[in-house]
Amino acid sequence: MMFMIVLELNARPADQYPDLDKAIKALGNWSNRMKNMWMVETRFTAAQIRDLLKPTLVAGTDRLFVTRMTTNWAGTGMGDGFQDWMNRRNFTGTK
């Protein structure tokens, strides 16, 4: 399944999140072509993703939003290969 993860990271300096990138990348195929927004193909649910990432947030005012994506998407300016990458993803959760 495909999920979008959106973060508002408020700790300063911003490099206080050493485990966040590793935790997101460990979820599965990922892309982060926009600041603080990731797309991840994973077997986990939105709630499981939230619970796995929550311990990596360091500021009490950090915010995290996870939502499941569908094949109904559109984008522009996302860089070379993005459309092909998205078209190879599994949005249904079945193989």
The pLDDT, as a whole number, for residue 95 is 58
**For residue 59, what pLDDT band results from cuts at 50, 70 and 90?**
confident
SS3 letters across the chain: CEEEEEEECCCCCHHHCCCHHHHHHCCCEEEEEECCEEEEECCCCHHHHHHHHHHHCCCCCCEEEEEECCCCCCCCCCCCCHHHHHHCCCCCCCC
- Parse the chain into domains and list their residue ranges: 1-9+44-73+85-95
In this prediction the pTM is 0.91
Taking only the tens place, the pLDDT of each residue in 8-55 is: 999 887 778 889 999 999 999 999 999 999 999 999 999 999 999 999
- Are the beta carbons of 39 and 69 closer than 8 angstroms? yes
| Local structure of residue 42 (DSSP, 8 states) | -
